[in-house]
């Protein structure tokens, strides 16, 4: 399997320039809708006991993810999975670790109705937002409606997420020939490509575009109860398969992996190379890979800067 992937990869390399592409500089999110979505994203009104908002588990002022191993939501219920970042999520081909949502709207519908997260239902959401004059007025301006349907609440949140892109990482500038990398950053990128990380982490999100097995070389054991891809597809070969996570802004989103088992990037690299590449890097090479991953940090999304 890996040999085959490697073959495909080498073939595609000979055709394409770089296997990673920069985040587009233009963000065409509708700003009125996105601002409204931002308010909703921060509003605990969207949880049954007014305790939880999207931002409770996706801290957009760090990396858009959760620094806890697993998130806690409604009535302090502990989840069974690490919360990934909402930054650049629009570039993922599917949402959730096991890819069970096809797009951001389907995704947002999940936590809203999840008893362990917001614990709401569409009717209750509608009642709450329609009871507030401020929301009524803002939806009127952004969408031209005088009654707010649940679907538009999700739509506004998705538009906010569409605005959460992080362009202009040093590495993106390098890809556009605007800056040079330091010697060690460049070496880190070369190792990343030559060792094979790039087979799974590529494209605009440096991940987010395929499902891959955690443990292609060595069976990965985790006592985490989260349903893997096999539970969605009912196919045995999808055991321990997950959506490859993005590596953009990765220095900001510890802990790592679906089970949150790696606290540092060094540890994540060690586990990845052991289980998915069957090799061990020298400390010096790990350091260079970390430096390369560091320059994948982009700019703070503009929408977070203005209120």
Nearer to ligand HEC, 56 or 209 (CB): 56
What whole-number distance in Å separates Cα of residue 163 and Cα of residue 39? Answer: 13
What whole-number distance in Å separates Cα of residue 246 and Cα of residue 62? Answer: 16
State the first-to-last Cα distance of the chain, in angstroms, to the nearest integer.
49
Contact at 8 Å (CB) between 43 and 56?
no
Name residues contacting ligand HEC, limited to 245-304 (CB under 6 A).
245, 247, 250, 253, 256-258, 268-269, 272-273, 276-277, 289
What whole-number distance in Å separates Cα of residue 171 and Cα of residue 295? Answer: 5
Q: Measured from the CB of residue 69, what is the shortest distance to ligand HEC in angstroms? A: 10
What whole-number distance in Å separates Cα of residue 246 and Cα of residue 12? Answer: 20
Q: Measured from the CB of residue 144, what is the shortest distance to ligand HEC in angstroms? A: 23
Binding part of the chain for ligand HEC, among 9-17, 103-111, 173-181, 182-190 by CB under 6 A, reads 103-111
What whole-number distance in Å separates Cα of residue 200 and Cα of residue 247? Answer: 11
Contact at 8 Å (CB) between 267 and 282?
no
Nearer to ligand HEC, 53 or 142 (CB): 53
Nearer to ligand HEC, 178 or 231 (CB): 231
Going 131 to 133 to 135 to 136, the CA torsion angle's sign is positive
Binding part of the chain for ligand HEC, among 22-30, 83-91, 132-140, 179-187 by CB under 6 A, reads 83-91
Token pair 């495909």 in the structure block, residue? 8
What whole-number distance in Å separates Cα of residue 71 and Cα of residue 83? Answer: 6
Nearer to ligand HEC, 23 or 112 (CB): 112
Contact at 8 Å (CB) between 242 and 98?
yes
CB atoms within 10 A of CB 276: 22
Q: Measured from the CB of residue 72, what is the shortest distance to ligand HEC in angstroms? A: 6
From the list 94, 112, 91, the residue with the least C-alpha distance to 103 is 94
Among 35, 56, 166, 249, binds ligand HEC (CB under 6 A): 56
Binding part of the chain for ligand HEC, among 7-15, 80-88, 174-182, 295-303 by CB under 6 A, reads 80-88
Tell me the number of residues near ligand HEC by CB under 6 A.
51
Name residues contacting ligand HEC, limited to 141-200 (CB under 6 A).
157, 161, 195-197, 199-200
Among 83, 148, 163, 296, binds ligand HEC (CB under 6 A): 83
Residues at the site binding ligand HEC, with contacts judged by CB under 6 A = 52, 54, 56-58, 71, 73, 79, 81, 83-84, 86, 89, 92, 95-97, 104, 107-108, 111-112, 117-118, 157, 161, 195-197, 199-201, 212, 214, 216, 242, 244-245, 247, 250, 253, 256-258, 268-269, 272-273, 276-277, 289
């Amino acid at each position: 399997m890996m040999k085959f992937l490697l073959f495909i990869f080498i073939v595609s390399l000979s055709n394409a320039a770089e296997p990673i592409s920069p985040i587009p500089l233009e963000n065409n999110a509708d700003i009125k809708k996105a601002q409204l979505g931002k308010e909703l994203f921060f509003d605990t009104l969207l949880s049954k006991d007014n305790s939880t908002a999207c931002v409770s588990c996706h801290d957009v002022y760090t990396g858009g993810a959760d620094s806890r191993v697993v998130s806690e939501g409604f009535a302090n219920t502990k989840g069974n999975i690490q919360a990934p970042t909402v930054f650049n999520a629009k570039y993922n081909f599917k949402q959730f670790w096991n890819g069970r949502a096809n797009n951001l709207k389907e995704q947002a519908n999940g936590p809203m109705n999840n008893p362990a997260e917001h614990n709401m239902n569409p009717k209750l959401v509608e009642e709450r937002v329609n009871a507030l004059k401020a929301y009524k007025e803002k939806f009127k301006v952004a969408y031209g409606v005088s009654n707010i349907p649940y679907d538009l609440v999700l739509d506004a949140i998705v538009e906010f997420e569409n605005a959460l892109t992080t362009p202009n990482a040093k590495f993106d500038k390098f890809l556009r020939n605007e800056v040079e990398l330091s010697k060690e950053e460049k070496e880190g990128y070369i190792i990343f490509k030559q060792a094979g990380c790039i087979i799974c982490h590529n494209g605009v999100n440096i991940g987010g575009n395929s499902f891959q097995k955690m443990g292609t070389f060595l069976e990965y054991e985790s006592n985490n109860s989260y349903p893997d891809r096999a539970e969605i597809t009912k196919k045995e070969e999808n055991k321990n398969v997950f959506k490859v996570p993005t590596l953009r802004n990765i220095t900001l989103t510890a802990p790592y992996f679906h089970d949150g088992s790696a606290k540092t990037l060094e540890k994540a690299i060690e586990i990845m190379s052991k289980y998915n590449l069957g090799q061990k890097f020298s400390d010096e090479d790990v350091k260079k890979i970390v430096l390369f991953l560091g320059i994948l940090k982009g700019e703070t999304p503009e929408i977070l800067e203005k209120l």
